[in-house]
Structure 1
Amino acid sequence: MGLTDIGLDRDVTELSGGQRTKVLLTKLLLEKPTILLLDEPTNYLDVEHIQWLQNYLQNYENAFILISHDMEFLNSVVNVIYHIEQAVLTRYTGDYHQFQAAYEVKKAQAAKAYERQQQEIERMEDFIQRNKARVATRGMANSRAKRLEKMEILEKPKEYIKPTFGFKEGRTPSRFIVEAFGLQLGYDEPLTRPVDFQIERNKKIAIRGVNGLGKTTLLKTILGLLKPVSGELVKGEFLQVGYFAQEDSPSNSETALDYIWNEYPAMTNAEVRAALARCGLTNEHITSQMRVLSGGENAKVRLCKLMQNKYNVLVLDEPTNHLDVYAKEELSRALRDFKGTIVLVSHEPEFYQGWVTDIWNIEDWTTKIV
């Protein structure tokens, strides 16, 4: 799992998200369970170890139940899909692509059945209304009314609430967002060799590499949240920087509503609710504490906060973790349309391919043997 270099006596809370996931997976697999329960195991994992886990599960002798929004990973390891929608669990045989096809057929059939029944109800109600007063036809009208009362009314198929994302663009910054000269990243000890780099205005950069090499450290150094071990980092002028952190505080007791409102007190209650609703959140989510929301709901609230201000630079640390397929697709579209600079850490090439201008592999900077 590539954990020997971290120091086996290190406190787990000091590790990166990917390293912590690897420790948990190692512990789990050493227990040799008869059934594995895996809740979004690819979150925070680098590409190489997602592939490792994929191979492991493909050859796993026993059963496993897997929750994942990584469709490529899911499609490679499962042969049964259980789909939860509107509190109903439905079983589909096959991989994810086969599930998608079967689900679309089922959804179309349900919509047609509902429409047919509504038309039938409308015809029966019209017949009853026209004939209940006439003596000659009152019996038929009453008969139709009884049939209508006994009819099992189909519910209108509910559409999944898809989010809508969009980032407001700030003023034009200087040509260079940041310039680094002999920069070494790290904490007590350097994680990288001295490096020089520039981030130009309107560039969209994806940063990849195995866990624990300093991707988050790089972002925090660019933001000024961490000092470099050595070297110089020069920031440009007129920067308006928006930051999406990899994780929210686990003790955040603010409601989603207050989380936005405290940041933007000039907004009305209705405006805050409307902004959160556009991100695919219901009233129940909006009035819940951030710490009790699911990972995906929490991420949508934090993205919503970013979308209320104008920025010319977005710094995003694994924003797709926990997001469902629809939210990922919408976020990818919104970032593609954003006219400013983006610095993104992601382990999902399919998320950013097609709109980033550069891909930096931090393995090229590391002092460690990868």
Structure 2
Amino acid sequence: MTAVAPRAPIPLNIVTGFLGAGKTTLLNRLLSDPALRDTMVLINEFGEIGLDHLLIEAVDGDMVLLSSGCLCCTIRGDLIDMLADLVKRRDAGTIAPFRRIIIETTGLADPAPVLHTIMFHPLLMLRYRLDGVITLIDAVNGATTLDAHEEAVKQAAVADRLVLTKTDLAPETAALRARLARLNPAARILDVREADAAALLDAGLYNPNTKSPDVARWLNAESVEAHHHDHDHHHHEQDVNRHDARIQAHCLRSATPIAPGGFDMFLELLRAAHGPNLLRVKGIVALSDDPSRPVVLHGVQHVFHPPVRLDAWPDGDHTTRMVFILRDLQAEFVERLWTAFTGAPRIGAPESEALQHNAP
């Protein structure tokens, strides 16, 4: 009997941004790109997002076929049921075999529940893979929105791509860019005029060109570390009235492999004590039972995707690297908890701490 090869997971992107950020305009432009042909688009209401001029044929109920070759439907009821039903219909051949899903959230939405859906549900974990969160920021009103609405700050904090819209009306964006870079240094910041499919998509762990994990690109740890050493952030921290003053990005590096049980306990303690404040966690971790085969970690708040063990390190850097976006949680707590389970000073620790750990 011939074994059936497992189906490759379908990449899924989330497009979010506060009210008036320009999601409609960007999504219309993306759907005209040939690179997104055979894409399934999930939106809240057809009337909310101005795609009506692209609709050419009703397929089934709320589902329509766009002139670009994409399928589009409204989100009705439970997202888990919808995503599970779509993949079943795709397998049965009752709808076109879409190659990607884009979910457009409402302007007031917290993207975390959607991320939890993809990362935790058994069927959806097998059939979909999170490719990235695209967050739009209005260049005209972005700073005011971040000041006034914590939801907008969270949308930016969990993003893989930050897109500045309406830049033609606000040619000076340096201050907003600097603020976003402090808030989420791991995310790439783009002007909407350069935000095409190639720049926005394929932001996840796996590089579709090489068919292999690209951890360095996915983590962008160097940007987070550069942010940590940027003394300009002290001025930002003094403004306690800004929602993003509660958020910090941090990269933990460790040359010492951690025991599998210790790693599980480290995650469980973090999740149990501070789950809501772990806005996003991404990493590659060396375990002591087989340091040549690291595990990849991805979490959003209290929900973590089951760690995936790689066959080998994807590059020459064999150190543990974990990027954290934290809210109301000091990076020092995370570092010391990690050190408690590894029994070794972390990379970049002060000399006094290293001497303390190495003392007889």
Q: Which has the higher contact order (CA 8 A, sep 6+)?
A: 1
The answer to whether TM tops 0.5 is no
The structure whose Rg is larger is: 1
State the TM bucket, normalised to the shorter chain. under 0.3
**TM-score when scaled to structure 1?**
0.25
